[in-house]
């Protein structure tokens, strides 16, 4: 059986410790803060001693070795190792708040003067630059609005899908609360007829039958649904061939309650027979 590795990276304060605990609960042998230079020998050793599921956390504390990671990942994949890179991210404001609440120092902080907000923001942006290459190759999870229990649930759902195959994640959201940072593709459906203005539908969601019936009768909604589906039909095979483990399709409306939720449900149902699909409703969850 092929060795499965979850390579966990991300911003300091984004929840990597929580994610690592979730992976441990899911049956992975976990190691934190492994220097990138030791990745290949460590994988060889763990394959002998701890079965076929390993989770490894690497972050900006090992900055000097980060440029080696893409080459090592390619080499391990050529040896038949299934690698799933996950990158945890959060908005800068969220990260500043978390460091302030916990009174922890950022791991890249060099002196006590750096504890000031302006210096902390600069340190966070430096970390973004250091990790940009890893972020581009990974499935990004935006933890800005997630509680610890929600992040654990998200991680467990992701790793429960079949390793080595592309997983399609459909996510609804509200533009008024910001665009998800983990979206690979974002579709704006705010121009579609809004059930919010129907008194009988206002308190319901896109998962409720009356709202679904209302939207199903709107030609613009059906056209948008078909356009998104045609786009995905055209490009998903190419993404899968490019070693993409996950593709997140975010669909946003004003409140994240009706139109975006309905389209996520419909698209997940449509693509479910062909691809492993997950659905998330940011504002409802």
Collapsing DSSP to helix, strand or coil, 191 comes out as coil
- Domain identity same for 197 and 138: no
Residues 141, 248 share a domain: no
Which of 38-52, 70-84, 131-145, 233-247 bottoms out in mean pLDDT, i.e. has the lowest? 38-52
Residues 136 and 210 in one domain: no
Please tell me the least confidently modeled range out of 142-146, 202-206, 243-247.
Answer: 243-247
Q: Which residue has the higher pLDDT, 59 or 89?
A: 89
List the Cα angle 144/86/72 in 5-degree steps.
Answer: 145
Looking at the structure, tell me whether residues 115 and 175 fall in a common domain: no
Collect all residues with Cβ–Cβ distance below 8 Å to 84 and sequence separation of at least 6.
4, 5, 6, 7, 139, 159, 163, 245
41 and 119 together in one domain: yes
**Whole-model pTM?**
0.77
Residue set of the binding site = 10-17, 59-62
Of the candidates 278, 81, 271, 86, the one whose C-alpha atom is nearest the C-alpha of residue 171 is 278
As for how many domains the chain has, the answer is: 2
Tokens of 83: 């690698």
**Can you say which residues are annotated as belonging to the binding site for GTP?**
59-62
CATH number of the domain where residue 51 is located: 3.40.50.300
Rounded average pLDDT over 155-161: 85
pLDDT for 164 beyond 70:
no
User: Looking at 141, 160, 179, which one is the last position of a domain?
Assistant: 160
Confidence band, pLDDT 50/70/90 cuts, at residue 114 = very low
**52 lies in the same domain as 155:** yes
Q: Domain range spanning residue 255?
A: 167-281
What pLDDT score does 273 carry? 93
Task: Mean pLDDT check: name the lowest of 7-16, 62-71, 221-230, 264-273.
Answer: 62-71
Residues 146 and 241 in one domain: no
Choosing from 160, 189, 224, the residue where a domain stops is: 160
The domain boundary, picked from 123, 141, 160, lies at 160
Q: How far apart are CA 281 and CA 173, in angstroms?
A: 6
- pLDDT-derived band at 113 (thresholds 50, 70, 90) equals very low
Q: Choose among 283, 69, 84, 103: nearest CA to 176.
A: 283
Residue list for the binding site for ATP: 10-17
């Amino acid at each position: 059986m092929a060795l499965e590795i979850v390579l966990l990276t991300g911003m300091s304060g984004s929840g990597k410790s929580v994610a690592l605990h979730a992976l441990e609960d899911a049956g992975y042998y976990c190691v934190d803060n492994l220097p990138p230079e030791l990745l290949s020998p460590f994988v060889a050793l763990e394959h002998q001693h701890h079965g076929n599921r390993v989770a490894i956390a690497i972050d900006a504390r090992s900055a000097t070795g980060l440029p080696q990671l893409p080459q090592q990942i390619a080499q391990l994949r050529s040896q038949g190792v299934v690698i799933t890179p996950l990158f945890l991210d959060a908005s800068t404001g969220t990260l500043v708040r978390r460091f302030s609440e916990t009174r922890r120092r950022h791991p890249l902080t060099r002196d006590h003067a750096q504890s000031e907000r302006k210096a902390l923001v600069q340190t966070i942006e430096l970390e973004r630059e250091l990790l940009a290459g890893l972020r581009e190759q990974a499935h990004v999870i935006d933890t800005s609005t997630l509680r610890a229990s929600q992040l654990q649930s998200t991680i467990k759902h992701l790793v429960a899908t079949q390793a080595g195959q592309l997983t399609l994640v459909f996510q609804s959201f509200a533009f008024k609360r910001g665009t998800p940072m983990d979206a690979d593709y974002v579709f704006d459906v705010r121009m579609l007829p809004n059930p919010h203005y129907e008194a009988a539908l206002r308190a319901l969601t896109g998962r409720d039958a009356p709202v679904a019936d209302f939207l199903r009768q709107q030609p613009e909604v059906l056209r948008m649904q078909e356009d998104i589906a045609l786009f995905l039909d055209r490009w998903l095979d190419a993404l899968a061939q490019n070693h993409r483990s996950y593709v997140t399709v975010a669909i946003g409306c004003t409140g994240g309650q009706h139109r975006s939720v309905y389209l996520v449900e419909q698209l997940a149902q449509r693509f479910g027979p062909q691809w492993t699909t997950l659905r998330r409703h940011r504002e409802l969850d």
